[in-house]
Amino acid sequence: MARKFLYLVVVLIVLALAATFAYRIWGVQLLRQAMIPGARFESQGELPKDSYARREMWLARPDLRGNPALWLPAGVQSAAKPAAAVFAIHPTSYLDRSHWNAPLDDKEANDRAALFLRGQASAFNGAGLIWAPRYRQATFGAFLTASADAQAALDFAYADVEAAFDQFIAEAGDRPIILTGHSQGALHLTRLLLDRVAGKPVAKRIVAAYVVGWPVSKTVDLPRMGLPECIRADQTGCILSWQSFGEPADPSLILDTFDATKGFTGASRANTPMICTNPITGTPDTAAPASANLGSLVPSADFSSAVLQTGTVGARCDGRGILLIGEPPASFASSSYVLPGNNYHVFDYSLFWANIRADAERRLAAFK
């Protein structure tokens, strides 16, 4: 499921960002030639066991200067004493085909990852101190093939995330824990929930897990993930997940791929409902008007800055679990990052930034 779903996301992103005309002529074959590494997978080696005890192995952590996760838009004040500990896994930022996995010192990938943390993980800095690891993420091309090399790249990336999480737990003390990820980061978060949270004592410390931009089946994934779906806005120890689409929406590519895979229980995902949390209300399968949106991050053309605008979009869950935002305002609809099918995957966090911030603080208050 992981490889196939990210395969879809990559196709859409490259279609939106690269040469659309060329894609229409040569299709997936063009993408494969451009993005799949030409060499076989080669492990970059295991990291020393104490690697994540070093500050340079983190893009964000409480004692790191220039922490991108501390960014705030104008008009939002910093929290005095955030009580929780937040583990954030950034989405794919490595596009190079030179390696199956990103080198830890790749500046371009790290700069992109820091940009993602500014727009996503920053929503949680009012609730907690944020740790976000560098990890040797799988390159985009790893999701354009079903080869053993691609699976090895995914496993290799996850091993870094798992090691970073273990160090995070050691450093977080007895703080309540918030988990967050997006796209490839959400993929690794689902596996982390399976391996490091489900059935473990740490599960009792989880305020919430935000598995965003990744499908989660209510019936064949959730039972193995160790936490239930968030049903109430003040519920703790639960999972939130959504995938954003403008209207008219065409999620058929996601649903077709999703239906062809097996869930964590081993049963087919075909026709099963997906978790759809409305980030405006904090509850599943609900609707909310734009007036209830506390603030969307509207980015500049190069994503280097953003302003917070209230009442920008509403949201409602539809069908098997797609989050619909109606007809988006021009500030988002004109972006080259809107993907075919009216897929607003890139903006899953920024569309609802202020509501996500309020959601995390509300659940933390309930937990405490």
pLDDT digits (tens, 9 = 90+) for 141-179: 776 676 788 889 899 999 999 999 999 999 999 999 999
Mean pLDDT of 240-264: 91
Q: How confident is the model at residue 237 (pLDDT cuts 50, 70, 90)?
A: very high
- Write the burial class of residue 175 (CB in 10 Å: 0-12 exposed, 13-18 middle, 19+ buried): middle
Alpha carbons 312 and 332: distance in angstroms, whole number: 10
Q: Which helix (H) or strand (E) holds 8?
A: helix 2-17
Phi, psi at residue 238, to the nearest 5°?
-145, 175
Instruction: Give the C-alpha separation, 248 to 124, whole Å.
Output: 31
| Residue 250 vs residues 25, 119, 123, 229, 342: alpha-carbon distances, Å | 22, 26, 28, 25, 7
What is the Cα Rg of the chain in Å? 19
Strand intervals (E) in the chain: 58-60, 84-89, 128-133, 177-182, 206-212, 238-240, 244-245, 277-278, 283-284, 287-288, 296-299, 306-309, 315-318, 322-324
Reported as a pLDDT band with limits 50, 70 and 90, residue 252 is confident
**Rounded mean pLDDT of the chain?**
88
The length of the chain is 368
Is the four-CA dihedral 187, 189, 195, 199 of positive or negative sign? Answer: negative
Query: Judging by DSSP bridges, how do beta strands 322-324 and 244-245 pair with one another?
Result: parallel
316-356 tens-digit pLDDT: 999 999 999 998 888 887 777 787 789 999 999 999 999 99
Residue with tokens 């077709």: 256
What integer is the mean pLDDT of 227-240?
A: 98
- Which residues make beta-bridge pairs with 324? 245, 316
Phi, psi at residue 106, to the nearest 5°? Answer: -70, 110
Whole-angstrom distance, CA of residue 341 vs CA of residue 330 = 17
179 contacts: CB under 8 Å, gap ≥ 6: 86, 87, 189, 192, 193, 197, 206, 208, 209, 210
Q: DSSP letter at 304?
A: S
| DSSP β-ladder status, 58-60 and 128-133 | antiparallel
Q: How confident is the model at residue 199 (pLDDT cuts 50, 70, 90)?
A: very high
Give the residue carrying structure tokens 């091993």. 159
Residue 34 pLDDT level (bands cut at 50, 70, 90) = low
pTM for this structure?
Answer: 0.90
Residue 335's φ and ψ, nearest 5 degrees, are: -70, 140
CB-based burial label for 171 (10 Å; 0-12, 13-18, 19+): middle
Enter the tokens of residue 131: 């740790």
Structure tokens at 73: 């838009």
The Cβ of residue 161 has, within 10 Å, a number of other Cβ atoms equal to 24
Contact 207, 368 (CB under 8 A): no
pLDDT at residue 32, as a whole number? 66
Contact yes or no for 223/265 (Cβ under 8 A) = yes
Q: Is 188 exposed, middle or buried (0-12, 13-18, 19+ CB in 10 A)?
A: buried
Burial string for 302-333 (b: 16+ CB within 10 Å, else e) reads ebeebebbeebbbbbbbebbbbbbeebbeebe
